[in-house]
Structure formats: C-alpha cells, structure tokens
C-alpha cells in the first residue's frame, strides 16, 4: 500500500469512528478494498471502548468462572451427542451437516433450551456447535474458528449468532448512551422508511435518539464490516465453501430489567438470575448513565435491536447464500423473557422453527429474510 493509500485508509477509519452518522456503505466498501481486515476492526473496537488488545481478549467471560465451567460441560455433552449421531447414521437418510458458532442464544447452558438445543431434537441434523455464552464476535473472528470448522465437519449450513456481547459485555453499553445532547440520526418519523415497523414503533425510535451516542453507530459499522469481510471471504469465487448456506439472526427487543423473575415452569429462574446478576447487561449501565426512565430504556434497546437487524437484512440482500432470521416480536411480553437478554424455551422454539424452514429448503421462493414470530411454537 503506498503512502497515499495509507492516508486514505486512516482517514476513512477515523471518519467511521468519529463521524459514523455521515459514513456510508460506499466508504465501507472503499475501506475493504484498501485491505481492511479483522485486526483493523479489532483495533477499532478498542478505540470505541477505550480498551487495549489484552483487555479485549479477556473481557469475554465465556471461558472463566462458573459460566466457563457450564459452557465447557454443555459443549462436551453436545459434541458427544454429535459424534454418536455421526457413528449411527442410517443409509437413505438425507442428513443435514450444520456448524453453529456464536453466543448464548446458541448456548445457554442447561437452564434454558436455546435455539441449537431445539434444532438438536431433529435426528437428521448433525450439528457441530462451538458456541459459548458470553463470547464476543470479535474474538470468534480473531481466533479464526469458522473456516477450519466448515472444512473439518463438511458443513453445508453455517449458523452464526454474534455481536450482542460485543455491545453489552462488561457494562460496555454505557459507552453507547448518555443524557447529554447527542447528534441525531433521525429527527422525524418519515425519515424511517422501513415498512417492517409501525408508526408507533417509529415514534419509539425517534424518542430514543437523544440518548444514543455516536459510539453506537461506530460499533454498528464495525459489526457490519466484520460480517461483510467474513462473507466476502467465504463466498469468494475460489473458496471451496462458497455454496454453504449461512444464516444470521439479530435478537429480539430486549427489555432492560434487574428483576429475578419467577415462573412455575422455571422454578430455578430467580436463582439463576441472581447468580448471573441479571440487569448487568442493560439495566445497570443505563442507570450508571442516569437513564432511569423505563420507557427511555426500552426505547433505546428497541432502537439498538432495530438498527442491528438492518445490518443483516442488508447482508442477506448482498450475498446470495446468506439468509437472515428476524427474531423481532417473538417475545410478546416480559413473561417470554428468562432474563433481560435471553428468551424462554417456547420463544427459542419459534426461532428454531424459522431455522428449520430455511435448512429444509422451504423458503426457496421466499424472501431472504424469515420472520420467526410467524411460526408456531410446536415441536420440531
């Protein structure tokens, strides 16, 4: 790269991080054409969160403490089940080889039946899962686990759940919100042309604008760049995995709360939520920043999840073999949430049905975006 190219590269990086509201997809493409890579984007996250690289590596709690123990135990059980299924395959059965990577929506150890748990009920799904609760997407990419796994396990389907912990881990959401005046992405509802949300929901997005900092929008560009480079490499003309079907999701409208909750179907819910300190991801960081109004908290999270899903909808349109499962609206009330970030079994079952719909090829003539809320929560 010549000096002039390096200058352009650095200027674009600075603009993406310091002026994200005026940054564009064309500029992102230009950055990628100038050699933007995962290490560059990792550096961007350290700038957004004021971390160093060592802290970024250790901020993820997926391998430490009680959560680390539960992750390892659950993953061991899943892999044992995978190898038993590999060993006992029957002739004439059209098995689907699947690789799943990601966070706690794919791996909530023991206490909740998550998306992958539901999909594992299908005997013809051979799922090798490397997901861990608490894992950051940037660390997944940094450790380069995806492509080798696709080769090793001969996967025709790649399920990825990542990006949420990069936003909410270790009080990081406090960087994204403020009670001080902020530049506004939207000022009137008519600027939000998306037909997937109602007029009332557009008002919620407008009401959230004064609280959202530029760091959130910089984070969005980093996440989009990470996925875009991942898929760009995966679907390069000379890549042997270019026919793999990739499926993303963008979470549901989480509700900031430090409630422990109780449900007769989940008698352990308050105990688990006490141990994992439910409220630490969303509620506490907003309280730290002085955002105590419950409506404002919900509006902020509604907007975060709305914007997050738009990234994946764009990517599904751009890449032929990428599909997106939109989970917004699966939770119809607070009672559908196990804690402030994770759904209960029956809600994850709906989402698993949407994955099944794509994996089984029933969406051939449908849009690239599948809405999980349209599926009933019956058994797979």
For 57-84, the pLDDT digits (tens) are: 555 555 555 566 777 888 888 899 999 9
Of residues 74 and 150, which shows the higher confidence score?
150
Q: Mean pLDDT, to the nearest integer, of 332-359?
A: 93
Partners of 246 in the β-ladder: 158, 322
For 186-197, the pLDDT digits (tens) are: 999 999 988 889
What pLDDT was estimated at residue 113?
A: 93
Of residues 20 and 376, which shows the higher confidence score?
20
What pLDDT was estimated at residue 97?
A: 96
What's the mean pLDDT when you consider all of the chain? Answer: 88
Alpha-carbon gap, residue 281 to 293, rounded angstroms: 17
Residue 112, Cβ density class (10 Å: 0-12 exposed, 13-18 middle, ≥19 buried): buried
Q: Which helix (H) or strand (E) holds 325?
A: strand 322-326
Measured in whole angstroms, how far is the alpha carbon of residue 4 from the centre of its chain?
A: 36
Per-domain boundaries in the chain: 37-374
What pLDDT was estimated at residue 364?
A: 64
For 191-229, the pLDDT digits (tens) are: 998 888 999 999 999 999 999 999 999 999 999 999 999
Alpha-carbon gap, residue 338 to 268, rounded angstroms: 10
Give pTM, 2 decimals. 0.91
Does the structure show a pLDDT above 70 at 274?
yes
Does the structure show a pLDDT above 50 at 2?
no
Query: Nearest-CA neighbor of 101 among 150, 53, 61?
Result: 150
Fold annotation for 37-374? Rossmann fold (3.40.50)
For 11-25, the pLDDT digits (tens) are: 999 999 999 999 999
For 275-305, the pLDDT digits (tens) are: 777 778 888 999 999 999 999 999 999 999 9
Provide the CB-side half-sphere exposure for 207 (13 A, CA).
16
The pLDDT > 70 percentage for the chain reads 91
pLDDT confidence bin for 49, thresholds 50/70/90: confident
Alpha-carbon gap, residue 375 to 363, rounded angstroms: 13
Q: What is the DSSP letter of 209?
A: G
């Amino acid at each position: 790269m010549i000096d002039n190219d390096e200058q352009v590269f650095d200027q674009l990086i600075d603009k993406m991080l310091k002026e994200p509201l005026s940054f564009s997809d064309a500029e992102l493409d230009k950055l990628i054409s100038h050699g933007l890579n995962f290490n560059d984007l990792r550096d961007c996250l350290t700038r957004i969160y004021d971390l160093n690289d060592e802290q970024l590596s250790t901020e993820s709690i997926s391998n430490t403490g009680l959560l680390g123990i539960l992750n390892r135990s659950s993953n061991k059980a899943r892999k044992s089940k995978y190898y038993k299924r590999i060993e006992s395959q029957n002739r004439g059965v059209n098995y689907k080889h699947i690789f799943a990577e990601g966070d706690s929506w794919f791996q909530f150890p023991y206490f909740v039946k998550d998306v992958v748990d539901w999909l594992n009920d299908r005997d013809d799904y051979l799922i090798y899962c490397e997901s861990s609760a608490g894992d950051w997407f940037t660390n997944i990419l940094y450790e380069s686990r995806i492509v080798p796994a696709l080769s090793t396990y001969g996967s025709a389907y790649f399920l990825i759940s990542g990006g949420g912990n990069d936003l909410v881990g270790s009080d990081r959401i406090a960087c994204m919100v403020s009670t001080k005046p902020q530049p506004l992405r939207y000022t009137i509802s008519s600027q939000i042309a998306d037909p997937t949300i109602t007029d009332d929901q557009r008002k919620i997005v407008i009401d959230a604008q004064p609280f959202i900092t530029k760091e959130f929008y910089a984070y969005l560009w980093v996440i989009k760049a990470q996925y875009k480079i991942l898929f760009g490499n995966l679907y390069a003309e000379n890549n042997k995995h270019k026919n793999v079907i990739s499926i993303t999701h963008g979470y549901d409208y989480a509700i900031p709360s430090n409630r422990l909750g109780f449900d007769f179907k989940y008698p352990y819910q308050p105990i688990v939520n006490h141990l994992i300190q439910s409220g630490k991801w969303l509620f506490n960081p907003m309280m730290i920043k002085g955002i105590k109004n419950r409506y404002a908290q919900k509006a902020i999270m509604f907007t975060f999840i709305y914007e997050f899903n738009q990234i994946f909808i764009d990517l599904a349109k751009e890449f032929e073999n990428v599909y997106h499962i939109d989970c917004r609206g699966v939770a119809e009330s607070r009672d559908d949430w196990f804690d402030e970030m994770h759904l209960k079994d029956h809600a994850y079952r709906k989402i698993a049905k949407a994955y099944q719909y794509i994996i089984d090829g029933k969406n051939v003539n449908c849009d690239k975006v599948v809405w999980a809320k349209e599926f009933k929560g019956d058994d797979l």
